[in-house]
Structure 1
Amino acid sequence: MIVISNPTEIANEHQIIQALFEEGLELFHIRKPDASEEKLRCYIAAIDSKYHCKLVLHQQYNLVAEFQLERLHFSEKVRQTIPDNFQKLVPFLSTSVHTIADFNNLSERYDAAFISPIYPSISKTDYKPTQNLLEQTKERTNWKTKWIALGGISAENIAATLTQGFDDVALLGTIWNSTNPIQNFKKCQKIVHTYLP
């Protein structure tokens, strides 16, 4: 299971991140679109270095070498313009797509891809699906890249999502908009472990 950072700073954020890792969080995506390089440097430095191998960076890619990070994520827009040498910086690459056709056409270089929104977003007002992405899993032909559901994922719909053929889920709003993010994480994690080996 994956957790994506809240785009903006929130209270006790690093304590929550630490607790998520202690509870067995597999990957933490750092997506802070408005953060400067220095701000992001401080953000990463505040995360225990033993968990840096589980961090996935969404921007300020030059910080990869400084923190010896192993994972990058490219947005759909960035993926179309990124130089090849960036793809060789790390052993693990993920990206974002919004249609099954784009997913099926991804290079084998991508280990995982988010597709969104699956359900109406918890964190973004009025961000909802314009097509039934759950149904589109039947059209999947790309089996090299992990297929990750994003957008409106919560404890209430994880089971239905994973039984439709997704390889994993990514959580954002269900964690950061919660009054008890750790409890919510554990609840979701338990459901995921029921469906995924």
Structure 2
Amino acid sequence: MIVISSPTAIINEIEIIQNLFQEGMNLFHIRKPDYSEEEMKNFLSNIDDKFYSKLVLHEQHHLAQEFKINRIHLKEKERIEVSENFQKTISYLSTSVHNINDFNELPSCFNATFLSPVFASISKDNYGKNSNIIESIKCRTNFNTELIALGGIKEDTIKLALDSGFDNVALLGAIWLAENPIQKFKKCQKIVHSY
């Protein structure tokens, strides 16, 4: 199970992230599209460096070497332009798509891909409300890349996503909009582990 950062700053965010790692979070995707280089450096510096091997950078990729982070996420435009450049220096490369056809056509250099929105988004109003992704998974032909469900993933949708053919799930709104993010993570983690 993967957790994606809130795109904006959250109260006690670093403390929550450290606690999520303590509770067994495998990968933490850092998606802060509006952060400057200095803000990102500050953010990364506050995370215990023993967890750097579990961080995935969505922006400010040039900081990966400085912080010894070897996991990168590429947006679609970046994926098309530079995915081959990262193959030599990065051990884990992920990206995002919004339909199964794009997923099926991905080059083999990608370890994992978010496919979204699977369900109605928790953090974005009216996003993913009429998604047909669960149905389209039946057309999956790419089994070399881990397929991760994103969008509306919470306690009551995890099992359906995994039953439908996703390899993993990613939490965003379920964690960062929860009253107690750690408890919410543990509940979702229990469902994934029992699957």
**Taking structure 2 as the reference length, what is the TM-score of the superposition?**
0.97
1:105 alignment partner in structure 2: 105
| Inter-partner Cα distance in structure 1 for 2:36 and 2:86 | 19
Summarize the alignment of residues 74-153 of structure 1 with structure 2, pairs less than 5 Å apart: 74-82=74-82, 84-153=84-153
After TM superposition, which residue ranges in structure 1, 4 or more long, deviate above 4 angstroms? Answer: none
Q: Given that residues 5 and 31 in structure 1 are in contact (C-alpha distance below 8 angstroms), is that contact kept between their aligned partners in structure 2? A: yes
- Following the alignment from structure 2 to structure 1, what is the Cα–Cα distance between the partners of residues 109 and 85? 12
Q: Letter of the aligned partner of 2:135 in structure 1? A: E
Whole-angstrom CA distance in 2 between matches of 1:83 and 1:73? 10
Work out the CA distance in 2 between the residues paired with 1:140 and 1:39.
39
Contact 1:116 1:129 in 2 (8 A): no
Deviation at 1:129?
A: 4.8
Whole-angstrom distance in 2 between the partners of 1:106 and 1:64: 23
- CA drift of 1:78 comes to 2.0
Q: Is the 8 A contact 2:61 2:72 kept in 1?
A: yes
Shift of 1:86: 2.9
Cα distance in 1 for partners of 2:83, 2:170 equals: 27
Kindly provide the amino acid, as one letter, of the partner of residue 93 in structure 1: L
CA separation in 2, counterparts of 1:193 and 1:86? 32
Structure 1 stretch displaced more, 50-59 or 125-134: 125-134
Kept in 1, the 8 Å contact 2:158–2:169? The answer is yes
* Deviation, structure 1 residue 130: 4.6
Shift of 1:88: 2.4
Q: In 2, Cα distance between the equivalents of 1:153 and 1:67? A: 30
SS of aligned partner of 1:156: helix
Q: d(CA) in 1 for partners of 2:75 and 2:172?
A: 16
Matched to 1:89, the amino acid is: T
**Aligned partners of 1:106 and 1:83: how far apart in 2?**
11
Determine the C-alpha separation between the residues in 2 that align with 1:131 and 1:24.
30
1:83 to 1:148, Cα distance in 2 relative to 1, 3 A: closer
What is the deviation of 1:144? 0.5
Does residue 170 of the first structure (1) align with residue 194 of the second (2)? no
Matched residue, 2:49: 49
* Residue aligning to 2:156: 156
- Secondary structure at the aligned position of 2:156 is classed as coil
Note the alpha carbon deviations across 1:12-69, whole angstroms, 9 max, x for none. Answer: 0001000000000000000000001111011111100000000000011110110111
Q: Distance in 1 between matches of 2:19 and 2:64?
A: 24
Deviations 1:111-144 (A, max 9, x none): 0000000011111122115541111111111010
Q: Could you say what secondary structure the match of 1:73 adopts?
A: strand
**In structure 2, distance between residues paired with 1:75 and 1:20:** 25
Whole-angstrom CA distance in 2 between matches of 1:157 and 1:85: 36
C-alpha separation in 2, matches of 1:150 and 1:129: 13
Distance 1:87 1:41 in 2: 24
Q: Secondary structure at the match of 1:56?
A: strand
**AA of the residue aligned to 1:96:** S
SS in 2 for 1:90: coil
Q: How many residues are aligned here?
A: 195
Contact 2:112–2:145 at 8 Å: present in 1 too? yes
Change (3 A) 1:112 1:129: farther
For 1:96 and 1:181, the matched residues in 2 are separated by 24
